[in-house]
Amino acid sequence: MKVLVTGATGNTGKPLTGLLTEAGATVRAASRRSGFDWSDPETHAAALDGVERLYLVAPVGVAEPEPLVRPFLARAREAGVRRTVLLSSSAVRTGDPGLGRVDQAVREIMPEFAVLRPSWFMRNFVGDHPVANGIRERGEIVTATGDGRVAFVDPADIAACAAALLLADDCENTDHVITGPEAVSYAEAAAIYTEVTGVPVRHIDVTAPELARRFTEAGYPEDFAAALAALDEDIRHGSEDRVTGTVQRLTGRAPKPLRRFLAEHVGG
Ligand SMILES: NC(=O)c1ccc[n+]([C@@H]2O[C@H](COP(=O)([O-])OP(=O)(O)OC[C@H]3O[C@@H](n4cnc5c(N)ncnc54)[C@H](OP(=O)(O)O)[C@@H]3O)[C@@H](O)[C@H]2O)c1
């Protein structure tokens, strides 16, 4: 079976590429590094040639990716792709602005689909992300989440769910909310980070407009910065305070706890 993995150098695409290859699938890894660019449709046909199943990471940092992705999905269908596993977000419902419109397009165009709706990524604490940058530069995590809890998830666990859904005979045609094993506040996450690494980290709570201002200052487009800050406000009101059994159900093993993830990725 040939699977096209978009975002193949990214947080979920990279581990997914490894898992699919180990399982015996033929993987085409697509990102700008391999000559595939969402903003250049001339690169799309070659990526889709001979592909049966697709892992879809929509263009990142674009407030409305659907106009770029819908024509690609139509082309994919014409090229013989039957199944698409979309990386969306726990904060996004079908038809919502942004990724919700991509979700809608996948449901309309693909006969077989799965929509992954993961909670926030544990990688945000260690990768190239405002949370990780704040920790490295100032020992601070700045959010607009108050005491709201988030069930952070390891992107490798999301990739394992994606692999299971791409390889299964039946992929259920539904969405899957994916979380880690426990929900913690950013203050609690900061304390875990400190315990595991010995690096003092504290949580600073700001308002959503202040957070949006900081994101814009860091170079994010204004509409994207505002959308991200609004998600923090939802977390403050409890939107991410829940755990699901999706990783266990789809992969047969438990999701990784934040403490273990940080121990493996930051040291200690
Ligand atoms: N971070 C979170 O907490 C979180 C939570 C829930 C959902 N999500 C969702 O997860 C998705 C992925 O986010 P991420 O931050 O983890 O990103 P990522 O997958 O680590 O990185 C983006 C990937 O897309 C590729 N890419 C970027 N621009 C491209 C372009 N113009 N054409 C083709 N490929 C391109 C990049 O590779 P190249 O640079 O080689 O092109 C990279 O492989 C987003 O839709 C986000 O909303 C994130």
Give, to the nearest 10 degrees, the angle between helix 222-236 and helix 208-217: 150
133 inside domain:
no
Which structure tokens are listed for 154? 């390891």
pLDDT band with cut points at 50, 70 and 90 for residue 128 = confident
Between CA 56 and CA 66 the distance in angstroms is 12
pLDDT tops 90 at residue 61: no
Could you report the per-residue pLDDT of 93-121, keeping only the tens digit for each?
999 999 999 999 999 999 999 999 999 99
Instruction: Return the number of other C-beta atoms located less than 10 Å from residue 43's C-beta.
Output: 15
62 inside domain:
yes
Instruction: Return the number of other C-beta atoms located less than 10 Å from residue 49's C-beta.
Output: 12
75 inside domain:
yes
Total structural domains in the chain? 1
Between CA 216 and CA 199 the distance in angstroms is 27
13 inside domain:
yes
Give mean pLDDT, residues 78-82.
97
Instruction: Return the number of other C-beta atoms located less than 10 Å from residue 242's C-beta.
Output: 14
Residue nearest to atom 28 of ligand 1 (CA): 59
pLDDT tops 60 at residue 268: no
Amino acid in the structure at residue 224:
F
Domain span at residue 104 reads: 2-121+153-179+242-256
pLDDT at 127: 85
Residues with CB under 6 A from ligand 1: 7-13, 31-33, 36-39, 57-60, 87, 89, 99, 118, 120-121, 124
Token pair 């609690």 is found at 188
Could you report the per-residue pLDDT of 35-60, keeping only the tens digit for each?
999 999 999 999 999 999 999 999 99
pLDDT at 63: 81
Between CA 203 and CA 189 the distance in angstroms is 9
Contacts of residue 194, defined as CB under 8 A and 6 or more positions apart, other chains included, come to: 200, 201
| Residue pair 119/153 in contact by the 8 Å Cβ criterion | yes
Between CA 150 and CA 139 the distance in angstroms is 20
**φ and ψ at residue 35, rounded to 5 degrees:** 90, 5
The angle formed by the CA atoms of residues 116, 120 and 125, to the nearest 5 degrees, is 135
Give mean pLDDT, residues 24-35.
97
Token pair 């992300």 is found at 129
70 inside domain:
yes
Give mean pLDDT, residues 151-178.
97
pLDDT at 232: 97
Between CA 114 and CA 123 the distance in angstroms is 23
pLDDT at 267: 61
pLDDT band with cut points at 50, 70 and 90 for residue 62 = confident
229 inside domain:
no
pLDDT tops 90 at residue 126: yes
Residue nearest to atom 17 of ligand 1 (CA): 10
**φ and ψ at residue 265, rounded to 5 degrees:** -105, -20
Task: Report which ligand 1 atom has the smallest distance to the Cα of 91.
Answer: 6
57 inside domain:
yes
- The CATH number of the domain holding residue 91 is 3.40.50.720
Residue nearest to atom 14 of ligand 1 (CA): 11
pLDDT at 181: 98
pLDDT band with cut points at 50, 70 and 90 for residue 224 = confident
User: If DSSP codes are grouped into helix, strand and coil, which group holds residue 113?
Assistant: strand
17 inside domain:
yes
Q: What percentage of the chain carries pLDDT values higher than 70? A: 99
Residue nearest to atom 20 of ligand 1 (CA): 10
